[in-house]
Chains A and B, each alone.
Chain A
Amino acid sequence: MKNPIVTPAQAARERHASLSRRHFLRGLGTCLALPALESLHPLRALAGAASKVPVRMAFVYIPNGTIPSAWWPEGADGRDFALPRTLEPLAGLRQHLQLISGLDDVSANPGVDGAGDHARAGGTFLTGVRIRKTSGSDVHAGVSIDQVVAQQIGHLTRFPSLELTCDAVRKAGNCDSGYSCAYEYNLSWRSATQPLPPEPNPRLVFERLFGAGSRTERTRNLKLRQEEQHSILDFVLDDVKDMQRQVNGKDRQKLDQYLSSVREIEQRIEKTERMSVANPSMESPTGIPGSYEEHIALMFDMMVLAFQTDSTRIATLLMAGEGSNRTFPELGISEGHHNLTHHFNNSDMIAKVKEIDRWYVLQLSRFLEKMDRTKDSDGNSLLQNSMIVYGSGNADGNRHTHVNLPILLAGGAGGAFRGGRYIKSKSAPVTNLFLTMADRMGARGVEKHGDSTGHLSLS
């Protein structure tokens, strides 16, 4: 329900960027057609010793699991599996995919906590730990794998990581069964108590990455913005230190969050001074589009851009908050997604969920195609140099199971992975896969993550 009328204030803000997505895409097309310029890769110089092109890592989360029968191929594992219906949109990308069964997120099981499988699936997926059941105070999960890696290699890029979402609306009232909404809407956790709220507005993502304004003034604006930020940060740093002396307990925790945020921005500014900032040949997006499909496409575009320009190597994208009850008018489906997943074997409802599952995969396929068309600085495709996990912390939404999760791994990890495979793994924590990925990202000494029991072998 987007207000069709634009207020003057809104209009004024959009003055610089009043271009539709169509124009934006035109720009993106040009950008992607260009071979990646050396100037877009300041890090090669910076990294120095590391001669190889960096590997990128992304996690794309879909809510409510998938219908298993339409997700998993029939028959044996290996290379000759037939793509099941939900995954059909990926047919052209088959050689880049590893479909892995047998991965579990047992931390999301009810255990002593009872109901709340959706909040738990969302809150545990990347953290791999049990989350504290609380509707408000003492939110407690764990550091998510993207942040574990970001804490090690984040300093190599301007942004340690990027957190994105296509779910811009928060519901009033409580979330799932006594769990804070923080678990459903944040995939990424910087610490056990500090979630990293994702950004829903593609315009703001773009401006943060490359600066605001028209193409010619962007880089200058970004510099200007950072210089100003620098002096402000210096100033408030003193404020927060003053205040910390006056508080204790949870108040101190809040101020610590503030303080560590100051430090992170300072580091980024310092990095920007060393690394040149890319300036994509396109206009900034205008805001959150009315259509969900376009919103997802734009957020994926932002991810491609961020990876292509090596602004970051780590990204998470929440398609919709876990337990999402979105309807899909574009598919003629007027019931909510979550309601439908509790289908209790009603064939009509199952059919609709399958349509939704497939629709999400279709959006993914467009992203992966773009990653495949985009050349990295070593001449390979960006997809070849990436690891994209697409999946959910819920397996079968109907029964709220968290074993044998739908997990798809796309990309070649810079040549380390062989695609086109269906791998039937023995039951193992999905965090084992994440450990393997962390390794590939160059994170050292990460021997354990959440409930992991070892590395998942993918060679």
Chain B
Amino acid sequence: MTPGSQQVHRSCGLPPLPVRFALDWHWWLALWLSWSSSTLWATDRATAGREFHNKVQPLLNKYCSDCHLDGEKKGGVAFDELGSDRQTTDNYALWLAVLKNVRTGLMPPPKKAQPTLEEKAVLEQWIKYQAFDLDPRNPPAGKVTVRRLNRAEYRNTIRDLMGIDFKADEEFPPDDTGFGFDTIGDVLTVSPLLLEKYIVAAKAIVAQAVPLVDRQMAEKVIAGNTFRATDTNIVKEGKNFGRKDGLLSLSYYQAAEGTNSFNLEHSGSYRLGVEMAVRGTFDYDPGRCNVVIQLDGQELLRKEFAWYDYKLLHFDLERSLQAGDHSLSIAVEPLVPVAKKLNSLDIHLLSLKVRGPTEPTYWVRPPAYARFFGAAIPEGRFARRKYARTLLADLTRRAYRRPADERTVDRLAAFAESDYRKPGVSFESGMAHAMVAILSSPRFLFRMEQNEPTSSVVGGNVQVDEYALASRLSYFLWSTMPDETLFQLAGRHELRPNLNAQVKRMLEDKRADAMIRNFTGQWLQVRDVEGTSIDARVVLARDSGSEKQMRQEREAFLARLAQQNTTTNKPQASGTGGTNSSTPPRPRFTKPRIELDLELRQALQKETEMFVGSVFREDRSVTELLDSDYTFLNEKLGTLYGMTNVTGAEMRRVSLPAGSPRGGVLTEGSVLVVTSNPDRTSPVKRGLFVLDNILGMPPPPPPPNIPALEAAEKGASDHEPLLREMLALHRDKPLCASCHNRMDPIGLAFENFNAMGLWRDKERNQAIDATGKLASGETFASIHELKRILIVRHRPEFYRCLTEKLMTYALGRGLEYYDVETVDQIVNRLEKNNGRFSELLQGVIESAPFQKVQPLPASSTALSRERVDNQRPAKSPTL
């Protein structure tokens, strides 16, 4: 759970100015390569200083003097107090702020005289090419800290490497995020706890994935969710006959039957394993039922079940079965009428496993055997050692994402051998032991990169080698390791020549869902939809103006709760704590009309993912992200959006009717929900969301001691005020106005959508006014018009913002001032090509920071850091 207004009052703005003491790479390198280049650079700085006086200062005098010259120092900026020429040109933070403010039209303020396009260009050119000293043909690559796999990447990598699904998000602590993403090398730390978890996980993964014998009983797993309802008229699917996550869920309170079938190749003796679970609520429920499982019409199992909050059950049976088709059924016979139901109680059929024939002659190769051991294991110590080496070399190539050196493979082979040479230990077990070491190694957990040996240093950059590039691509687009195609290309040095075709292939691949989910989930914060607290009752009560009634209900509820606590709540004292049927149920509210239950929240998240995915994969204009004539819905989400022509649980593409307020991510329920407070909308959060994530021009953080919006309610005593009125009172304070004039009008344009994303015409029973005027001057009458303004008038800002977000995600580092040129070049590509996503994607992938790296300095580098710092400011403002 995270702070609400904290989210509002977060970050950015005029770029924050963290003091960073990292060496600036290209200056550093220049020094390292040749001392004389520093003198060269110093000359450049002198030119930059001269140019400042000749070209830039006149512009500042002309347009900025009212606030930033001659004793005026608004926002702490005075252009005539910059110090020496050198101090002036080296003030990167200042010039980055100037660049951003002028580009986004914030400065000079709209009321003041505006510089011409040519004048702006002069300023931009000077900042980029003189002050920042950037080479447009070879912008700096920067330095990304070695990246540890985050939880999503770990899980996917294990899936592709070992063939099993390991739930890293349940087993590992959450990863820290930086710059809004969990791919940032600097914040992906390792602790003893995490390392221990890695080792435990490696062990568990290998135990599950790697077969230790070469033959075993054949096994058929019949998943619970493959059962079909016998009579679909009686049993409404999805309600009492739920198939989900591989299992079948049946209510104790409704008779139901499901059937299934399987085929056996051989007659013989079979072992049947039934996995079931009772799933109840924490509170007692009186339900009981019989569960009957039949095989070929014969009763296999009959059991009576009662309440349990959660209990897993396993039944083993042996049967002699003939080859051919067999039928299975499972039925629930309720024993308690539904009228007595207090909570909910379900029986889950997870799976039915048919193992056999038990006779060894019918045994088969374990399914995963070939993945790890190939064909036959040779006899003899040396042959085995050689074979182990071959297997381990191939496994490490994939696990470490580059061929491992001889020494590493030798060590692993010896490690395996030390195990399998022990008496009673199989070759397979020894190899499994080595695999645990592989998965625990820093070479697996970190993405180590190397320079391309054939690449020479140009402008301080050197290309990463093709294995590193393959990993950069695969972790960017798939959140997982490279596949065999990428490995092969990298091995032959053919990845760079085939880059575009590979990127196209990778984007079309199913695995690219990971990029769409992980990038969208964090950029638009839709990951948070599941966890955002929204109280539907309160939200709906506010819309309909029945808050008073709502409050009275709440007080009555609390009174009941308090009463119950004093009479019954002596927790844990007795040690048994058992709830039984004599305990009165906990007081509950009645259910609201529409609730953001898990199913709806998942649909909301899915909508955004599928929508963004369609724009990316169909190579549409990224401006469609802001407005579109289609979206993705299922029945439940359709109901929330007032579109009743969609039926069923499956999400599918739906054309929006003309005039629909939906279309584009901003009016998708997901974004509307994560930008709301639990009890009401937050126009401030929504406005900030747009400024921060769409326009890339967030306001500075708020001053301390800011009052909450609700405080303004006191200002309107005659009635319960609308948010619009409250915000207006809030903006009366000059301190608040400068930023809230930018946020509030945008946020208020979304007031027709309540905190659940539901359309409403009224708030507190009064009509909603969604008109407004942006700080940059444009007026709009509705959300439709606001979207048009964003696309038509603020397209470059959106392009730039999206580029910066995608680059941060892809590179695994925050953008620095020197990335301005790289971003500009991609934005130009987008402008020239109608915003097509492929231009953005290729732009990022072809960029210097993605393709290159600052070379590793020789370890003998003698230059002291102080000496370097004397030459160039150590401050490196973040973009």
Q: Name the distance in Å between B552's Cβ and chain A's nearest Cβ.
A: 12
Q: How far is the CA of A20 from the CA of B314 in the complex (A)?
A: 18
Q: Are A175 and B679 in contact (CB under 8 A)?
A: no
10 A-B contacts, Cβ less than 8 Å apart?
A137-B18, A171-B7, A175-B6, A175-B10, A177-B10, A186-B176, A239-B441, A242-B408, A325-B6, A327-B535
Nearest Cβ on chain B to A199's Cβ, whole angstroms: 6
- Determine whether A334 belongs to the interface, using a CB cutoff of 8 Å to chain B: yes
CA distance A175 to B11 in the complex (A): 8
Asked if residues B312 and A168 are in contact (CB atoms below 8 Å), the reply is no
Given contacts A3-B598, A135-B814, A338-B4, 13 further A-B contacts (CB under 8 A): A4-B344, A5-B244, A11-B312, A11-B350, A18-B310, A138-B21, A170-B177, A172-B521, A173-B180, A173-B522, A236-B440, A249-B145, A264-B192
Mark A232-265 against chain B: 1 for CB-CB distance below 8 A, else 0. Answer: 1101101110110111111101110110111011
**In the complex, are the beta carbons of B199 and A8 less than 8 A apart?**
no
Q: Closest approach, in angstroms, between the C-beta of A211 and any C-beta of chain B?
A: 11
- Shortest beta-carbon distance from B567 to chain A in Å: 17
Distance A335 CA – B539 CA, assembled complex (angstroms) = 11
Q: Which of B182-190, B373-381, B610-618 forms part of the interface with chain A?
A: B182-190
Does B751 lie at the interface of the complex (its beta carbon under 8 Å from any beta carbon of A)?
Answer: no
Residues of A within 8 A of B (CB): 1, 3-12, 14-15, 18, 20, 22, 25-26, 29-30, 33, 110, 114-118, 132-139, 163, 167-178, 180-182, 185-186, 190, 193-201, 204, 208, 225, 228-229, 231-233, 235-236, 238-240, 242-243, 245-251, 253-255, 257-258, 260-262, 264-265, 286-287, 290-291, 320-321, 323-327, 329, 331-332, 334-339, 342-346, 349, 366, 399-400
Q: Given the complex, which residues of A lie within 8 Å of B194, measured CB to CB?
A: 197, 261
Residues of A within 8 A of B679 (CB): 334-335
Q: Are B196 and A336 in contact (CB under 8 A)?
A: no
Interface centre among B191, B440, B441, B701 (most CB of A within 10 A): B191
Stretch at the interface among B165-173, B475-483, B823-831: B165-173
B411's closest neighbor in chain A, by CB? Answer: A238
Q: How far is the CA of A132 from the CA of B187 in the complex (A)?
A: 13
Closest to A186 in B: B176
Q: In whole Å, how far is A287's beta carbon from the nearest beta carbon of chain B?
A: 8
Distance in Å: Cβ of A201 to nearest Cβ of chain B: 8
**Contact A239:B443 (CB < 8 A) given known A254-B146, A261-B194:** yes
Contact of A115 among B1, B554, B576, B701 (CB under 8 A): B701
- Are B678 and A170 touching (Cβ within 8 A)? no
| B643 lies within 8 A of chain A by Cβ | no
Known: A25-B572, A175-B2, A182-B187. A200 touches B173 (CB 8 A): yes
Chain B residue, CB-CB nearest to A183:
B176
Is the beta-carbon distance between B857 and A332 smaller than 8 angstroms?
no
Do B176 and A286 touch across chains, with their CB atoms under 8 A apart?
Answer: no
Taking a contact as CB atoms closer than 8 A, the residue among A26, A138, A198, A366 that contacts B18 in the complex is A138
Q: Contact: A172 with B190, CB < 8 Å?
A: no
Asked whether A6 lies within 8 Å of B348 as measured between CB atoms, the reply is yes
* In contact, A135 and B282 (Cβ under 8 angstroms): no
Partner of A136, one of B179, B189, B411: B179
Q: Do residues B189 and A178 form an inter-chain contact, with CB atoms below 8 A?
A: no
B522: contacting residue among A134, A172, A201, A249, CB under 8 A: A172
Contact among B173, B533, B710 with A344 in the assembled complex (CB-CB below 8 Å)? B710
Contact of B176 among A180, A228, A400 (CB under 8 A): A180
Q: A3-B598, A339-B677 are in contact. Are A247 and B146 (CB under 8 A)?
A: yes
Q: Which of B2, B186, B191, B195 is A190 in contact with, Cβ under 8 Å? A: B191
Q: What 1/0 mask marks residues of chain B from 435 to 462 whose CB sits below 8 Å from any chain A CB?
A: 0110011110110100000000000000
CB distance from A136 to the nearest CB of B (A): 2
Instruction: For the complex, give the distance between the alpha carbons of A233 and B246 in Å.
Output: 37
Whether B223 pairs with A8 at a CB distance below 8 angstroms is yes
Report the minimum CB–CB distance from A14 to chain B (whole Å): 6
Contact B192–A345 (Cβ < 8 Å): no
9 shortest interchain CB distances as A-B pairs: A136-B178, A29-B575, A115-B701, A334-B535, A344-B711, A323-B3, A338-B3, A342-B708, A261-B195
CB < 8 Å: which of B21, B184, B713 contacts A346? Answer: B713
B351 at the interface (CB under 8 A from A): yes
**Which of A29, A114, A245, A335 meets B572, CB within 8 Å?**
A29
Q: Looking across the interface, which residue of chain B has its beta carbon closest to that of A188? A: B191
Could you tell me if A26 and B577 are in contact, using CB atoms closer than 8 angstroms?
Answer: yes
Contacts of A182 in B (CB 8 A): 176, 187, 189
Are B11 and A177 neighbours in the complex by a CB distance under 8 Å?
yes
Docked-complex contact B10 and A176, CB < 8 angstroms: yes
Complex partner residue of A5 from B2, B174, B348, B704, CB under 8 angstroms: B348
- Contact between B177 and A181, CB atoms less than 8 A apart: yes
Whether B186 pairs with A136 at a CB distance below 8 angstroms is yes
Q: Is the CB of B16 within 8 A of A135?
A: yes
* B50-58, B104-112, B524-532: which lies at the interface: B524-532
Q: Scan residues 259-293 of chain B and give those whose CB is less than 8 A from a CB of chain A.
A: 275, 277, 279, 282
Question: Which A residues are in CB contact (< 8 Å) with B512?
Answer: none
Most buried by B among A18, A22, A135, A261: A135
Q: Is the CB of B557 within 8 A of A332?
A: yes
Q: Known interface pairs A117-B704, A323-B6. Does A20 touch B309 (Cβ–Cβ under 8 Å)?
A: yes
Evaluate contact between A326 and B178: CB separation under 8 angstroms: no
Instruction: Tell me whether B193 is interfacial, beta carbon within 8 Å.
Output: yes
- The reply on B311 being an interface residue by CB < 8 A is yes
Q: How far is B530's CA from A1's CA once the two chains are assembled, in angstroms? A: 7
Q: Which residues on A sit within 8 Å (CB–CB) of B706?
A: 342
Q: Does B218 contact A (CB under 8 A)?
A: no
Interface pair A400/B598, CB less than 8 Å apart: no
In chain B, positions 506-563 with a C-beta closer than 8 Å to chain A are 521-522, 525-528, 530-531, 533, 535, 537-538, 554, 557-558, 561
Nearest CB of chain B from residue A68's CB, rounded to whole Å: 15
Interface string of B687-712 (1 = CB under 8 A from A): 00000000000001111111110110
The distance in angstroms between the C-alpha atoms of A291 and B702, with both chains bound, is: 34
In Å, the complex CA distance between A33 and B572 comes to 13
Find out whether the CB atom of B708 lies under 8 angstroms from the CB atom of A229: no
Is the beta-carbon distance between B437 and A5 smaller than 8 angstroms?
Answer: no
Closest CB of chain A to B388's CB: distance in Å? 15
In the complex, chain B residues whose CB is within 8 Å of the CB of A10: 167
- Asked whether A258 lies within 8 Å of B190 as measured between CB atoms, the reply is yes
Q: Are B18 and A133 in contact (CB under 8 A)?
A: yes
| B176 with A185: CB separation less than 8 A | yes
In the complex, B148 has a CB within 8 A of chain A? yes
Q: With an 8 A cutoff between CB atoms, is B813 at the interface?
A: yes
A360 to B146, CA, bound (A): 40
Q: Is the CB of B180 within 8 A of A172?
A: yes
1/0 contact string of B558-584 vs chain A (CB within 8 Å): 100100000000011001111100000
Residue with the greatest number of chain A CB neighbours at <10 A, chosen from B178, B203, B244, B713:
B178
Evaluate whether A342 and B5 lie within 8 angstroms (CB atoms) in the complex, with A29-B575, A257-B190, A334-B538 already known.
Answer: yes
* Cβ contact within 8 Å between B437 and A118: no
Residues of A within 8 A of B857 (CB): 248
A1 partner, pick from B310, B407, B601, B700, beta carbons under 8 A = B601
Interface pair A250/B177, CB less than 8 Å apart: no
B681 at the interface (CB under 8 A from A): no
Residues of B close to A336: CB separation below 8 A: 1, 3-4, 533, 677-678
Using A3-B598, A137-B178, A257-B189 as known contacts, say yes or no to A251 and B6 having CB atoms under 8 A apart. Answer: no
- Residues of A within 8 Å of B847, CB to CB, are none
In the complex, A8→B11 CA distance in Å? 42
Contact of B678 among A228, A245, A327 (CB under 8 A): A327
**Is A194's CB under 8 angstroms from B561's CB?**
no
Q: Least Cβ distance of A182 to chain B in Å?
A: 4
The smallest C-beta distance from B207 to any residue of chain A, in angstroms, reads 11
Closest to A198 in B: B173
Q: Which residues of A contact B538 (CB under 8 A)?
A: 334
Is the Cβ of B598 less than 8 Å from the Cβ of A197? no
The reply to whether B10 and A246 contact each other, CB–CB distance below 8 Å, is no
Query: CA A30 – CA B188 in complex, angstroms?
Result: 41
Partner of A116, one of B437, B443, B701, B813: B701
Chain A neighbourhood of B522, CB < 8 A? 172-173
